[in-house]
Amino acid sequence: MSKYATGKHSKAISDRSGLEFPYREMVREWNGSFVHYTEFEPKQPQLEPKPMGGDGVALLNVRPDRVEPITTVMIPQDGFETYDAGSGIINVFSPGHGLTNGTTYLFRGPPTISPGTGTATNPVFAYATIPNFDGITGAQIGQGSGYAITTGKYVSNTGSGSPGRNTSDYMTTNFFFFTVNTDTATTGNVKGGGYGCSIGPITISAWLKKLLNLLKICLNVKDKIHILKCMKK
């Protein structure tokens, strides 16, 4: 193999400037160019960018906020009250109801086992008809299309001597009223509706039905025992 000279006394021409320099002061660049060390340019880092991962955005354990589903609001025992004889206006007492004025809601009777379906150990959830009172039929109150409610209480004297809506903070927070279809009160100022009635959206989500079904099972243990006894006879 041939032996190369050290170039101690040699000259070289730079590939960049074309100038003559001492051979031993020459260096080679990344692209193969033979240049003087004063002309040397390192390789541009952007020619070989390092791989970069994306910024972390997603969380491993997330607990995001969500839109709460609309639920039913319980009405206290005999929470319905007719306004006056011959009137279809019904005031409803429901403390802290949180309902929206002008929105349509559906009234429901107490939870029960659907007639003709289910078993004593596996009841099918349903709602009973609201009891009749003062000439008002529960079926009309619980009609499937619901009623647009007005928050506050309908009173005989709003302060100006004429009947109308009482819009005080207490009344709008704890009362609302609606006008029932067809029926009118016989006497007026009569409370009714019984126990377990509620008001809520026209369509109840599936998970709420399951929850209410479970509550029905838990709250009506005596009813279940009675049914089981009847089945054994």
Q: Return per-residue pLDDT of the chain as tens, 233 residues.
A: 578 898 899 999 999 999 999 999 999 999 999 999 999 999 998 888 888 887 878 888 888 887 777 778 999 999 999 999 999 999 999 999 999 999 999 999 998 766 555 566 666 677 889 999 999 999 999 999 999 999 999 999 888 788 999 999 999 999 999 999 999 999 999 999 999 999 999 887 655 555 555 555 554 544 444 444 444 44
- Which residues neighbour 87 within 8 Å (Cβ) at sequence distance 6 or greater? 184, 185, 188
Q: What are phi and psi of 16, to 5 degrees?
A: -95, -55
Can you list the alpha helix ranges (DSSP code H) found in 130-184?
138-141, 169-174
**What would you report as the CA-atom Rg of the chain, rounded to the nearest whole angstrom?**
42
Find out whether 199 and 75 touch, Cβ atoms under 8 Å: yes
The sign of the dihedral angle between the CA atoms of 193, 195, 199, 202 is negative
Q: Specify the amino acid at residue 34.
A: F
- Asked whether the beta carbons of 74 and 215 are under 8 A apart, the reply is no
Cα–Cα nearest to 141, from 84, 80, 57, 221: 80
CA distance 162 to 156: 6
Tell me how far apart the alpha carbons of residues 70 and 204 are, in angstroms, rounded to a whole number.
8
Closest CA to 103 of 151, 142, 152: 151
Q: What is the pTM of this model?
A: 0.60
